[in-house]
Structure 1
Amino acid sequence: MKLSNRNGWKLIPALLLLFTAQGVTAQQYELNSKDEQTRIRIQVNDRITWSVSKYGQVVLPEVVIGMTVNGTVLDEDPEVTSRRESETAESFEAVLPVKSRIIENDYRELQLKFANDFELHFRAYDHGVAYRFTTSRSGNIEVDSETLEISFPAGTTSYFPQEESMYSHYERSYLFKGIDTIRTGEFASLPILFNTKDDLRILFSEADVFDYPHLFLAGSGSKTLHAQFPKGVAATKPDPSSADRNVIITEEEPFIAATEGTRTFPWRFFVITNDDADLIRQNMVMQLSRPQILEETDWIQPGKIAWDWWNANNVFGVDFKSGLDTRTYKYYIDFASEYGLEYLILDEGWTKSTTEILECNPDLDVKELIRYGREKGVSLILWCLWKPLDDNMEEILDTYAGWGAKGVKVDFMQRADQYMVNSYTEIAKACADRKMLVDFHGAFKPAGLRSAYPNVISYEGVRGNEHNKWADYITPEHNVTLPFTRMAVGPMDYTPGAMHNAQEINFSVSFGRPMSLGTRAHQVAMYVVYESPLQMLCDTPSAYMQDEKTARFISGIPTVWDETKVLHAKVAEYVAVARRQGDDWYIGGMNNWDERSLEIDLSFLPAGTYEMTIFQDGINANTYAEDYRIESRTVNRSDQLSMDLAKGGGWTAVLRRK
């Protein structure tokens, strides 16, 4: 099969069936996946509804969709004027492969054209379904509202990232809740994972979200959830308690989006499977999002990054007083260089103030640090707040690029309305013009931007390690829920690498000297299990250098992957994956608080002999979480191993072909 570079989204010359548009009078349409296991049935009567069956079972009994544009309800008494069906098989290569270098995109599509200047597109994949609206109106339009009502089978439960407001960092715990217990007024950001009483998993999210707000799902105290969207923002004022980063929305528009009249709208998709591993294998956001816009991408380099903020610059064993100053950051650069880390981030505190971000604080010389880093082979990424960047983007990015910074970490966006979605795009484009990377923090989920602009190297939008500084809810159970929920829609800047680890009975909250729940090996395994082309080492360089074995092991793990195999997967309980870069394989496993052993079958390996180095829980890790051991052995594809996991444990192996 020939590959597309996806810069132009060329179809592969594989099987392609196309039925030309024709008048249709029937009010019921069907679309099946290629494996014939997934069936979409669409009903067009006085409204538009559809349902999904999988493996012969009704999985989504009824989904109601609609849109109101310029005061006109598009789906009111809809009339289908033509239909078109197609079958597509294509592949493209990812610039930053977080899961696999080659992404297959095989599906069947049904396009229904309606009399009211709109279309509905449905896609059926072997592992899921998707739909979107398109409109073909002259000039600009206002989208007043969009309807999505999803009815689930009785007894369906959810992993529900419940929000208190749509003004949010989107860093939530996944609450296990029955659908009918989600009350009116309760809502969640995406993605959301559902489980039917027949043990089918349904992951819901969206893709190709451009010039449009993100979708939230709200409860009704019944088996039906419905969409809600942030309105357009008409006016804001600074929040007196934190004027540098927070705003108060004082006026909203009557619409959710003011946009072009001829356009495609976001895809909404459902991954449907009886195998938890499919939630990790699938790549729906990339499959459904628009093609790459950037022509040159060789300058986009993944890597690992030393981070200062989580560890509060607590370096020790040195002959200088640490702080937000040039000397301390040269120490970070020396560490990064010694351990082969590609980047250092200067987080909050490097600028004159959080709003005066064109100047350094008096104790720090960023130009000197960039020069010193270049000498040592370490590039710098600069943190900044979104609000001052939005106010003066061109000058700020010109200045940072002129200094030689390789990227920005933009923080505290906290919104998902149309203006903010467009701001992400503007930042991505402006940084790409200057050959700079972007890491979004205080951010909503990935939803297609990194497909068009692969310099968007990672997103936060996850309740990650930083929360250990002030809370005790970043548990191993939470950590093994994330691969099936938040990570299922794109790269996740969880910021692993805590070197102060504790079992539940020994854990305490400390903002200045944080620790993690679970074992040291649990943290190490995140470097294989969690997907992020920019993977941080969150702890102080002094702690890593004090335990050189752990630091060397972590620093040798790549951040992008040619291939991924899911070996074991059960939501909120355990996960084990094998990933390949070149000829080398890496295996990572994590579990919840339940001690267990998982069998690892190495038959996925190509023929040959491999030297395997294993980083695993020590014999006393159940009581002393920092206990670990490293061992090496020779293996081949006929071998089977036991992955023994302590409570909140982990297991990581590096396999190099001999």
Structure 2
Amino acid sequence: MFIKQTIICLLLLPAFLICGGQQKQTVEMNKIKLLFSIDGEGRPEYEVFFQDKQVVQPSRLGFVLQEDSAFYRDFELVGTERATFDQTWQPVWGETKNIRNHYNEMTIHLRRKANPSLLLDLVFRVFEDGVGFRYRFPKQANLTYFVVKNELTQFNMTGDHNTFWIPGDYDTNEYSYTLSKLSAVDNKELVEKSTDIAVRVAPDPYAVQTPLMMKTANGVYINVHEAALLNYPAMQLHVDRATYSLSSSLVPDAVGNKAYLHAPFSTPWRTIIISDKATDILASKTVLNLNEPSKIQNTSWIKPMKFVGVWWEMQIGKSTWSYSDFADSTDAQGRPIPNNRHGATTANVKRYIDFAAKNGIRGVLVEGWNTGWEDWFGKWKEDVFDFVTPYPDFDINEVMSYAKSKGVSIIMHNETSGSATNYERRLDTAFRFMKEHGYNSVKTGYVGKIIPRGEHHDGQWMINHYTRVAEKGAQYQVMIDVHEPMRPTGLQRTYPNWMASEAARGNEYNGFSVGNAPSHETILPFTRLMGGPMDYTPGIFKIQGYSNVPGRQVHSTLAKQLALYVTLYSPLQMAADLIENYETHMDAFRFIKDVPVDWDDTKIINAEPGEYLTIARKEKNKNNWFAGAITNENKRTATIPLSFLDKGKKYTATVYADAPNADWKNNPEAYTISSQTVTSETVLSIPLAAGGGAAISIMAPDGK
């Protein structure tokens, strides 16, 4: 929905600066300025300034094409266009009701002097908080179908910045974050020791993944990512540890090529978000704004929701996804022999349906309902799942009828075991099955090495696969939550049914591995979530004692698990723990019942990556607010001014906080609940335990 839009003004071939023999052109907005130039060898370059101080040094642009191995030099400027754009639009769902899309744009038209001459456009957009730029290959006689061997985009930093990074892995984003100087980036040891990740392919020890979060010595925050990743491989960054230069490193295909394209074609946007305030980085909508509007005309069926489900019990070993222990576990009649630990039984799923209905939770996820789980993990096998055949102890019609009678939706689960070819052959069958049985959402998974063999999770082939699944979901009116994909790039604007992704190290790692450091959730908003919502699966209440492995636990307090519902945004939010653990703490579960998943407004109160974060959000179409504050392994006090509340109005604030003796390691389940009357003049001061947090519901008297 469009609220306000300016008329775009174009100026052709404007005057340009001559500086040191170079043609330099400028586009800027407020504190951000971008300069474009062509050097003496005909190489296009750009540089970026924040408050008139350089944050990106002259950085080269271009490609190595199969058709032209020097498609990065001998360019000449043949034209320039400029435009100003100012629009306010409303997302189908999200963190705010209204989003302003305001930028100044400069399009550079280049021509290679070589024979035959080839054309390339560079499109630069400067926003109030950063820049986005992309390459555009115009329709032209001498370049139709072509192959990208390498993209040569550089981001040359001005110093040895502090950086939050994970390895540039072709197949996973599920690493723990490292904080180091750019000069110290070396992912080899981390990749080798991360044996809890199913598939790891990281051939470059100096490659890192985006979104990449950096902080300069003088307190400027810089975030590098990409937007609108379609029909192109994901961009990783190679770090030159001596010069602090970052260069694009595209994920290759099975034969080493990066992309197969057809002009006209526009690449994804390369994004640089800049501010001297960490809160501004989190408030940025630049990545989202660089995506196209929704391709789905009727979005009335797309509904954010919370859900519970048969999932965590498998992560901690209480039950299994599989019906039998082995694929050949059959009796004399050839029937599978049950292991009596299968989680997705009709009776067990009904328990979750009852709990959801009783507590106003709309959805129930059921994993392990379908045949194939005995023979899938690590096999690199093509035909594992058919996505329609339930196990003998799961009566799909009975479950769906029971859920419907309770007003609860069942969330489908389609694990592909990495065999995307098998899933694509069965997509229509799988989605028709969903519609016939009343499913309105599906969680997909891609654990394992990809088939087609030799392809990677983050390569062009799989990028197109994820898009096809989202489009198929739109065709059948099914919402998508995808696990093990590439990290998001704002495509939830274009495909609003693509509601959430995993694409990072989620809460599940606390269930089966060494877990996540207390700082992990303070880093994720500055990295992974810059591209879009994450299905982190918060809400674990039994912090210790769920595993027989010594020392294994969730690395947070219970109160922090509540706060994550606000600080880690997703329109699909799971209450991930077991029913019995919630029933032990129903007073704390009240916050999960109350907290929305769709918002009219969001305020970033305070933030520092790796340290702390406080966010407040306003409930969609209501006047209630909810806040979350989290910290790393250090104790601190969260100071929360409530100036965002309506002036002159009294609210009731309920604070779910760490108890005075709480500690993520020694006493994680200790919490307090208190209520008080607050106004816009109130400033809350809430102690946070080590690894702790606080969740606050702020209810208007009439709820409006």
Partner of 1:578: 616
Partner of 2:37: 43
**Among candidates 53, 56, 59, match of residue 60 of structure 1:** 56
**Among candidates 151, 175, 178, match of residue 175 of structure 1:** 178
Q: Aligned letter for 1:135?
A: F
Partner of 2:654: 613
Q: 1:382 & 1:156 partners in 2: Cα distance? A: 44
Partner of 2:533: 491
Does the 8 Å contact 2:25/2:37 carry over to 1? no
Does the 8 Å contact 1:578/1:585 carry over to 2? yes
Counting only pairs closer than 5 Å after superposition, residues 361-440 of structure 1 correspond to structure 2 as 361-386=391-416, 387=419, 388-412=422-446, 415-440=457-482
Between 1:200-209 and 1:622-631, the stretch displaced more is 622-631
Does the 8 Å contact 1:52/1:61 carry over to 2? yes
Deviation of the 1:50 alpha carbon: 1.3
SS in 1 for 2:139: strand
Flag the 1:508–1:409 CA change in 2: closer, same or farther, 3 A.
closer
Partner of 1:525: 563
Percent identical residues = 26
Q: 2:105 & 2:84 partners in 1: Cα distance? A: 6
> Does structure 1 residue 4 correspond to structure 2 residue 42?
no
Deviations 1:367-393 (A, max 9, x none): 221221111111111111232322321
Between 1:640-649 and 1:392-401, the stretch displaced more is 392-401
Q: 2:318 & 2:618 partners in 1: Cα distance? A: 35
Partner of 1:28: 23
Deviations 1:45-79 (A, max 9, x none): 22111111112221111321112344223332111
Deviations 1:253-286 (A, max 9, x none): x531112210211100011111111121012221
Deviation of the 1:330 alpha carbon: 0.4
- Segments of structure 2 that go 5 or more residues without pairing to the other structure are 112-117, 187-203, 320-339, 374-383, 448-455
Task: Return the structure number with greater strand share.
Answer: 1
Flag the 1:140–1:161 CA change in 2: closer, same or farther, 3 A.
same
Deviation of the 1:211 alpha carbon: 0.6
> Does structure 1 residue 624 correspond to structure 2 residue 667?
yes
Does the 8 Å contact 1:358/1:399 carry over to 2? yes
Partner of 2:191: none
Q: 1:311 & 1:33 partners in 2: Cα distance? A: 53
Deviations 1:132-173 (A, max 9, x none): 00011354322232112222122212111114x4122x1122
Does the 8 Å contact 1:407/1:437 carry over to 2? yes
Q: 1:352 & 1:482 partners in 2: Cα distance? A: 33
TM-score, length basis structure 1: 0.90
Does the 8 Å contact 2:16/2:23 carry over to 1? no
Deviations 1:440-461 (A, max 9, x none): 1012111133221110010101
Partner of 1:646: 689
Q: Aligned letter for 2:361?
A: L
Does the 8 Å contact 1:135/1:264 carry over to 2? yes
Flag the 1:192–1:328 CA change in 2: closer, same or farther, 3 A.
same
Q: Aligned letter for 1:647?
A: A
The size of the alignment, in residue pairs, is 619
Partner of 2:574: 536
Deviation of the 1:352 alpha carbon: 5.0
Q: Aligned letter for 1:610?
A: Y
Deviations 1:474-523 (A, max 9, x none): 12211111121111221011110111125xxxx89658997411211010
Partner of 2:157: 152
Does the 8 Å contact 1:63/1:151 carry over to 2? yes
Partner of 1:282: 284
Partner of 1:245: none
Q: Aligned letter for 1:175?
A: T
Partner of 2:247: 226
Deviations 1:588-610 (A, max 9, x none): 10011111112211111112111
Deviation of the 1:395 alpha carbon: 1.4
Deviations 1:558-582 (A, max 9, x none): 1111100011111111110110012
Q: Aligned letter for 1:33?
A: E
Partner of 2:192: none
Task: Give me the CA root mean square deviation.
Answer: 2.3
SS in 1 for 2:310: coil
Does the 8 Å contact 1:277/1:568 carry over to 2? yes
Q: 1:211 & 1:517 partners in 2: Cα distance? A: 38
Q: 1:555 & 1:493 partners in 2: Cα distance? A: 18
Partner of 2:387: 357
Partner of 2:137: 135
Q: Aligned letter for 1:79?
A: E
Q: Aligned letter for 1:287?
A: N
Does the 8 Å contact 1:120/1:131 carry over to 2? yes
Q: 1:32 & 1:114 partners in 2: Cα distance? A: 17
